[in-house]
Amino acid sequence: MQNHSPIDNANCRILLIDDDRANLLLLERMLNSGGYRNHHSTTDPREALVLLRQNFDLLILDLTMPHMDGFEVMAAIARTPLRLPPQILVLTAVADHSYRIRALENGARDYLTKPFERFELLARVRNLVESHLYQKALLEEKFSLEQRVEERTRELVDTRLQVVRQLGRAAEFRDNETGMHIIRMSQMAAAIGQASGLSEDACNMLLHASPMHDIGKIGIPDHILLKPGKLDPEEWRIMQTHTTIGADILATGDSELMRAAREIALCHHERWDGEGYPQGLKGEDIPLLSRVTAIADVYDALTSDRPYKKAWSVEKAVELIQQGAGSQFDPQLTLCLEELVPIFSTIRSVNPDPPAPHPLHHLSQAMA
C-alpha cells in the first residue's frame, strides 16, 4: 500500500493503551510497517494522563479494560487541560452500535472493531494523525500571530507612553520644573495609589497619565509663566487657565489613558475644601487620580531645589501636606505619606535633577 500522506510518519507520536499485551505487540508491528515507529504502549489505562502530557498526536484506545475502561479514560482526558489533546481512535472487539455512538460522543474521532485489516488501520491512523498535525500547525500559527500582535501592541503602547512623557516634559521645560520632576512625581503618584489600596490598573494609569498634568502651561504666555515676581490678579487668573488649556489639548484623545490624563490636567489644582480651581470641586467630587496627583506634585516640588528656593526637608514637606489634609488634600490619601518617604527617597535618588539651573521666574502661587 502506498502512503500518499504528506506527514512525516517517523515523527508522529502514537500512544497505545490495551490491557492485552498480545494486541499491543500486533499493533506495534502494524504501525512499524506503515513507518510509524515513534510509539509507546501500556497495558495500564491509569497511566494515560501522565503519558499524554508528552504531547502524543494519536491515542489508540481499547474500551474494555480493568481499573479504567476506555470511556473513563476519555472522560479523564476531557477534564484535563491539555494544550492540544490527541486524536482518539477506539480499537475494540465491541461492535455494539450504542458503544460506537457513545465513544464518538465522548471524544473519539474514529471507531474500529476487531478483527481489523492492517491497511484499514493504517489509513485511519494516517487520516487522524494528519488531522491532528494540521490542528497543531494552526494552533502554532495562532500562537505566533498572537505573539506578533502582542509585540506590536506593546510597541504601540510604548510609543504612546513615550509621546505622553515628552508632552509632559515640554510643559515642564517651559516652567521652573526640570524634566525629571514629571518622572518622579508620576512614580510617587503610583506609589501613593498602591499604598492607598488602588488597583494595579489605577496605579499604572497614574504612572502614565499624571506626567501630562501641566501640559496646559504650553498655552500660558511667557511674560506670565516666566515672571520672576508675584503675579497680579489678572496674571494669576490667566495662569489658572493652564488646567482648562490642558484639558482642551487632551480632549480629542479617546483612549482610557488620554481620558485619565485630561481629568488630571483639569482637576489637579482642585482642593478638598472646594477652594481650588478651575471648577471649585469639593471632596470626592474631585476625581481620585487628580487627588493623588496633587499630593505627589506638591511633595516633589517642595523637596526639590529650584532657582528661587532650596529644597525643603522631607519632614517639613510631609508636615505641610498633612496639615493640608481635609483642606487642600484628601485626608485619607495623606495617611500613608510617612511610610512612603523611603520609596520617595529612592525615586529621587534614581531620578535626580540635572545640575544646570533653569532661569528665574515667579515662585509665588506656583503650587497653589
- pLDDT tens across 150-201, in order? 887 777 666 666 666 666 666 666 665 556 888 899 999 999 999 999 999 9
CA 185 to chain centre: 23
pLDDT value of position 285: 97
65, three cell numbers: 479494560
Least confident among 134-138, 217-221, 252-256: 252-256
Residue 261 lies in a domain: yes
pLDDT value of position 167: 67
* CB of 267 closer than 8 Å to CB of 288: no
Instruction: Please report, for residues 89, 104, 108, 133, 312, the alpha-carbon distance to residue 8 in angstroms, rounded to integers and kept in the order given.
Output: 19, 27, 23, 10, 74
Question: Which residues, 6+ apart, have CB-to-CB distance to 177 below 8 Å?
Answer: 214, 301, 304, 358
Distance CA 244, CA 248 (A): 6
Residue 76 lies in a domain: yes
User: Do 199 and 342 reside in the same domain of the chain?
Assistant: yes
User: Do 141 and 183 reside in the same domain of the chain?
Assistant: no
Distance CA 86, CA 264 (A): 53
In the chain, alpha helices (H)? 21-33, 48-52, 70-79, 97-105, 118-174, 179-195, 200-209, 222-225, 233-240, 242-249, 256-267, 288-302, 314-323, 331-334, 337-350
Domain coverage including residue 195: 175-350
pTM of the complete model beyond 0.85: no
Mean pLDDT calculated for residue range 239-257 = 89
8, three cell numbers: 512525516
> What are 284-321's pLDDT values in tens digits?
999 999 999 999 999 999 999 876 678 999 999 999 99
Distance CA 210, CA 214 (A): 9
Residue 25 lies in a domain: yes
Q: How many domains does the chain have?
A: 2
Instruction: Please report, for residues 147, 284, 289, the alpha-carbon distance to residue 326 in angstroms, rounded to integers and kept in the order given.
Output: 48, 11, 17
> What are 5-26's pLDDT values in tens digits?
456 777 789 999 999 999 999 9
Residue 154 lies in a domain: no
Give the phi and the psi of residue 309 in degrees, each rounded to 5: -160, 160
- The Cβ-side half-sphere exposure at 250, using a 13 Å CA radius, reads 32
Mean pLDDT, the chain, integer: 87
Residue 152 lies in a domain: no
Residue 357 lies in a domain: no
Least confident among 125-134, 345-354, 357-366: 357-366
Distance CA 330, CA 320 (A): 13
User: Do 188 and 252 reside in the same domain of the chain?
Assistant: yes
User: Do 228 and 137 reside in the same domain of the chain?
Assistant: no
Residue 53 lies in a domain: yes
Confidence of residue 138 (pLDDT cuts 50, 70, 90): confident
Residue 2 lies in a domain: no
